[in-house]
Structure 1
Amino acid sequence: MTLDRRDFLRSGAAGMAALAFTPALEALFPRAPRGETLKLGVIGTGTQGCNALEELATIEGCAVVAIADVDPGRRNRGKRRAPDATIYESGAALLDAGGIDAVVIAASTFAHRELAEQALAKKIKVYLEAPLAHNEADASAIAAACFEDGAWLTAGFTANTNPVYKRARDVFQSGALRNLVSLRSHWRRKLSWKAAAPTPDREQALSWKIDPKRSAGICGEIASHHVHTMRWFTGKSPWSVRGWGGIRLWQNGTELPDTVQLEFGWDGELRCQQELTLASSIGGEELEVSGTHGTIRLAGRHAWLFKEPDAATQGWEVYAHRERFHQDEGYVLLANATKLAAQGKLQAGAGLPHTELWYALQAFVTAAVEDAEPPCPIQDAMPSTTAGIKAAESVVTGEEALLGFVG
């Protein structure tokens, strides 16, 4: 294949433009950590725990040597994903046995405190699934344990390790949106959080997400993640929340709503609106940050920039791949766009090569092996967890809850 000067300049310019607006390849395919193999335990082998086991099996620098779950069926599912691991009937037994450098705690949220405190007391590095806890007392106790000598914990909020989100935040911080106008997000699934089980006792144990004594419901489990993403993205924290909600579909004996609308007071007169439901799946999950010059839309492994007609041109737009959403057209933040641009295949590369969980776990493994700072330390995780808990309380009381965060 011959390449004349004009084609060379065009492909080179496309590559440089893509490089300016997309994650670097080293972010998409991070290096293996330097040091010995990290011996890992995984506590909790339900859906999230099994997802973690599958991702960890593909991450260099670690080996899962022990797994635990109190439920026999879930232990078996975990064993199929980590056949060489030692099996324990409880997280406490796994931690007491020793022989691990770090642990992934993917147990039910209400069980986080006891397990995290035990692991931290033993100087075991901890990846704790988010949110931290289902109530403020447990979250505060975990935070206190994190400040003991030798304690190391990272939370499972994934926005700040997602390469596309990081690139989108760079664009935001460059001033591309100009003045902030609104923050919005939605999360829509059509599923019941009541588990099917052969016995009433097992059903009750597995259905903890609909038990107000063991869960902050959809606000605690989902809203906290959206708050974390928006806090990290904007550099600001919410100062209040007001919530509304009810049961729209799942009459399963719980008092917790399956649908909520939340409004967070954010920065001055700015508001962040969230709509979360287990009663409808159309629309999936998206977060939007809007300004006077454009909107950035985040959707897991994808992100887009929508520019207002009067927004300044930065040069890369002519080379960027675009997608139409009804009357709007968005510039796609592509994964590995530099390589694709050089190959003339920009339209083929939307999305990340790995899941958001993979990047979070990979960052955890690297930081743990190299004894570096946790990717999502307690001071970043605590406000987001608290915001979700307070949102759940506001839905019940109907009153605005003050959060007391600064910045």
Structure 2
Amino acid sequence: MTDQSFDFTRRSFLDRVLAATAAAGVAGAAPWAVSAANAASGVPALAGAGDRVRLGVIGTGDRGRALMRNIAKTRNCTVAAVCDVYAPNLAKGREIAGASVPAFTDHRAMLDAGGLDALVIATPLDLHARHTIDGFDAGLHVWCEKAMARTIADCGAMVSRSKAAGKVLQIGHQRMFHPTYLNALKRVKAGEIGTVTQIRASWHRNNSWRRPVPAGADDRHVNWRLYRDSSAGLMTELATHQLQVGNWFLDGVPTRVIGSGSICFWKDGREVYDHVALIYEYSGGRKFIYTSLLNNARYGCEEQIQGSKGTIEPELGRIYAEVPPKVLALQRMRQDVARGHKRTVPIGGATWFPELPVTTPGESLGWGEYDETMLQFEGFGEAVRSGKPLPGLLAQAYQASVASLLGEQAMDRGEAMPWPTGLVDV
């Protein structure tokens, strides 16, 4: 795959991403791609705006509005109604949706008004389950932001109600629609980096995560991510993305997790940790090591997928060989002479050198001007139109949410937490 292969700007999910991923041989790891591609011939071609999937957006805060902008880029979805209990956010949402789009302050009123095919839920975490189930009860399909819900039980309830209602439930894990990640997964499955035994991931920021509260507003409404009843903080708002990547590339779920969390920098009355460090153990002794903190952004957001033959860093779009190809001494000398380069010849010196990180440039995994958030909505639109979820997506999301909440429990209790038994079959 070349960089040109990844030019997906404003191009359809089915026409571009699915064709590329199916041809790349990732069917086993990304079954939704192949399934949707195979079903494409049976889905009527879109003729105009009237054929678009009509979405009602619940929650028009920063994230909800970002989703709306991405929905506007798709060829098969449109925002047909917006809803938010907070007037300033609702007004901003209406600016994006347009004055002709109905606006509501009660999601049930929006459901009763009809005219929708599906919901997009971008509300605080503790409201996800209620809004999702209300959508199913109204006969609608649902796209919901990650993480799924505030409790493992509610995550399971969402899955069960989706199956009982026969409706699509898709969760916002956009990395599963990211061509660079799909190419990385293909190369891992092909054995290019050998046996993967460890993944290191981090999501570091340097800000308080606290938003200013306008006069007359409730801090718990504006800063819901900082309170335990509505969020697990770093675990559900950030870690769940990378836990999905870990489960995906390790092709399984953890056997147990240990960790430590603390409020060690932002002592401003928040209830959620501002610093977490966890180890998720997988079968065969494999490990996913995760850290996240809010007072140093040096390493930002990254994953390092480490195998016996190489390393993949999908956030950077690079793959590195563990042992770079060797250059013969005479060949290197000839190259030096041609460049006029003089190389130091060691005669004596230190007997030990620190094992510093490998600094070879690696190889590109492919990059382009596409937006995986838009691509996932095109995938959702096709799933709604066919009435069939893209296979494998919900299982990945459910397991990532369970893993994030299990990590919170391990930190709170200060003990290793085994993978739960009796989870809902996805």
Superposition TM-score tier, normalisation by shorter sequence:
0.7 to 0.9
Give the 5 Å matches for 1:63-78: 63-78=78-93
1:217 counterpart letter in structure 2: G
Please, which of 317, 329, 334 is the counterpart of residue 303 of structure 1? Answer: 317
- Taking a change above 3 Å as real, the CA distance of residues 234 and 181 of structure 1, as seen in their structure-2 partners, is closer
Q: CA deviation at 1:194?
A: 2.6
What TM-score, normalized by structure 2, do the two folds share? 0.78
The alpha-carbon deviation at position 375 of structure 1 amounts to 6.0
- Alpha-carbon distance change, 108 to 369 in structure 1, aligned in 2, over 3 angstroms: same
- The 3 A distance-change label for structure 1 pair 240 and 200 is farther
- Alpha-carbon distance in structure 1 between the residues aligned to 2:249 and 2:378: 21
Residue 202 of structure 2 is aligned to residue 186 of structure 1 = yes
Hey, what's the Cα distance between the residues in 1 that align with 2:360 and 2:263?
34
Matching residue's letter, 2:103: I
| Equivalent position amino acid for 2:196 in 1 | L
Q: Quote the residue 1:56 is aligned against.
A: 71
Following superposition of structure 1 onto structure 2, how do residues 1-80 of structure 1 map, counting pairs within 5 Å?
A: 18=2, 29-31=12-14, 34-35=45-46, 36-80=51-95
Q: Tell me which moved more, 76-85 or 28-37.
A: 28-37
Please give the alpha-carbon distance, in whole angstroms, between the structure 1 residues aligned to 2:378 and 2:300.
25
Normalising by structure 1, what TM-score? 0.82
CA displacement, residues 344-365 of structure 1 (integer Å, 9 cap, x when unaligned): xxxxxxx332233222222112
CA distance in 2, matches of 1:379, 1:272: 19
Aligned residue runs from structure 1 range 325-336, under 5 A: 327-334=359-366
Question: What secondary structure sits across from 1:268 in the alignment?
Answer: helix
Q: How far does residue 29 in structure 1 lie from its aligned partner after superposition?
A: 4.8
Contact 1:367 1:375 in 2 (8 A): no
Tell me what 2:383 maps to. 367
Alpha-carbon deviation of 1:123? 2.1
Q: Which 5+ residue runs of structure 2 have no aligned equivalent?
A: 16-42, 327-356
Select the structure of larger CA radius of gyration.
2
Match of 1:222 among 238, 242, 256: 238
The DSSP-based 3-state class of the residue aligned with 2:257 is: strand
Q: Which amino acid aligns with 1:308?
A: E
Contact 2:14 2:379 in 1 (8 A): no
User: Please, which of 248, 251, 254 is the counterpart of residue 235 of structure 1?
Assistant: 251
Tell me if structure 1 keeps the 8 A contact 2:77–2:378.
no
Question: Pairwise mapping of residues 93-104 of structure 1 onto structure 2 (< 5 A)?
Answer: 93-104=109-120
In the alignment, is the contact (CA less than 8 A) between 1:123 and 1:150 conserved in 2?
no
Q: Distance in 2 between matches of 1:102 and 1:128?
A: 10
Deviation of 1:221 (Å): 1.9
In the alignment, is the contact (CA less than 8 A) between 1:37 and 1:369 conserved in 2? no
Secondary structure class of the residue paired with 1:148: helix
SS at match of 1:182: strand
Identity within the alignment, %: 24
Structure 1 residue 47 displacement after superposition: 1.4
Aligned equivalent of 1:173: 189
Q: Which amino acid letter does the alignment assign opposite residue 139 of structure 1?
A: C
Which of 251, 261, 265 aligns to 2:277? It is 261
Give 1:308 shift: 1.9
Moved more, 144-153 or 367-376: 367-376
SS at 1:141's partner residue?
helix
1:29–1:38 Cα change, 3 Å: closer
Query: By how many angstroms is 1:66 displaced?
Result: 0.2
Unaligned runs of 5+ in 1: 1-16, 313-324, 335-350
Are 2:318 and 2:364, in contact at CA under 8 Å, matched by a contact in 1? Answer: yes
Deviation sequence 1:180-211 (CA, Å, 0-9, x none): 23111010112223331124752221111111
Give the direction of change, closer, same or farther, for the CA distance of 1:267–1:124 in structure 2 (3 Å limit): same
C-alpha separation in 2, matches of 1:311 and 1:368: 48
What are the equivalent positions in structure 2 for 1:193-204 lying under 5 Å apart? 193-199=209-215, 201-204=217-220
Residues in 2 aligned to 1:257 and 1:176: alpha-carbon distance in whole angstroms:
37
How far did residue 388 of structure 1 move? 0.5
Letter in 2 for 1:169: L
Deviation at 1:332, TM superposition (A): 0.8
| Partner Cα separation in structure 2 for residue 62 and residue 352 of structure 1 | 23
CA deviations 1:108-153 (Å, max 9, x no partner) are 1110011100111222111111110011222122122122042211
Q: Aligned residue for 2:413?
A: 397
Cα shift readout 1:91-112 (whole Å, capped 9, x = no counterpart): 2222222110111111111100
Deviation at 1:244, TM superposition (A): 0.9
Alpha-carbon distance in structure 2 between the residues aligned to 1:275 and 1:73: 34
Q: CA deviation at 1:371?
A: 2.9
Displacement of 1:279 in angstroms is 1.8
Secondary structure of the equivalent of 1:329?
A: coil
**Matched residue, 1:358:** 374
Q: Indicate the residue corresponding to 2:305 in structure 1.
A: 289
Measured against aligned partners, the alpha-carbon deviations of 1:4-44 in whole angstroms (never above 9, x if no partner) come to xxxxxxxxxxxxx739x965969975357734211111111
Residues 310-321 of structure 1 correspond to what in structure 2 (within 5 A)? none
Q: Secondary structure at the match of 1:159?
A: helix
- Partner Cα separation in structure 2 for residue 155 and residue 375 of structure 1: 12
- Hey, what does 2:351 align to over in structure 1? none
Supply the distance in 2 between the matched residues of 1:273 and 1:75 (Cα, whole angstroms): 39
Number of residue-to-residue matches in the alignment: 359
The residue aligned with 1:337 is: none
